[in-house]
Amino acid sequence: MLDLTKLSELLGRNENFVSSTKYFDGSIQLNLGKEKIWIKAFMGRVILVTQEPPPFGFTFAIEGPPAEWRWALGGAKNRFREALMTGRLAVQGNRIEFSRIGKAVHGLSEVLRRMLQDGSMRLGEGE
């Protein structure tokens, strides 16, 4: 469960996310176990966040079971990059765009981490 409005607002204020998506027209899907979050970004702005991804897919997706997302985001430090590098979380889709907007992905991880810590994001309930 995730507060989608808060996610959108926090991404819009995250300098890494905004600056790295300035020339991006695409979508990022988060597969948090069975839960899916689809984020549409265009020219530095989040224009839609939904839990109902459209049928045309995503630019890239980051996926993993809730326990791995908790490991990556819930500890004393942000281990998101480590989770990606070690295969605890995986990337699907356009890896070139994923790499090109790496600062945005880091910004996204910072926002998710903050939301997990303040309770506006819960992982793995009912799974």
pLDDT, one tens digit per residue, over 25-73 is: 999 999 999 999 999 999 999 999 999 999 999 999 999 999 999 999 9
Please determine, for residue 112, whether its predicted confidence score (pLDDT) is greater than 50: yes
CA-wise closest residue to 106 among 15, 43, 45, 42: 15
Contact 10, 115 (CB under 8 A): yes
Separation CA 107–CA 72 (nearest Å): 14
What digits encode the pLDDT tens for the residues 87-102?
A: 999 999 999 999 999 9
Domain residue limits, the chain: 4-118
The confidence score (pLDDT) of residue 126 equals: 46
Question: Is the pTM above the cut of 0.75?
Answer: yes
Q: Which residues of 86-120 are buried (b: 16+ CB within 10 A; e: fewer)?
A: eebbeeebeeebbeebebbbbbbbbbbbebbeeeb
- Looking at per-residue pLDDT, the higher value among 35 and 127 belongs to 35
The domain at 4-118 falls in which architecture? 2-Layer Sandwich (3.30)
Tell me the backbone φ, ψ of residue 2, rounded to 5 degrees: -150, 135
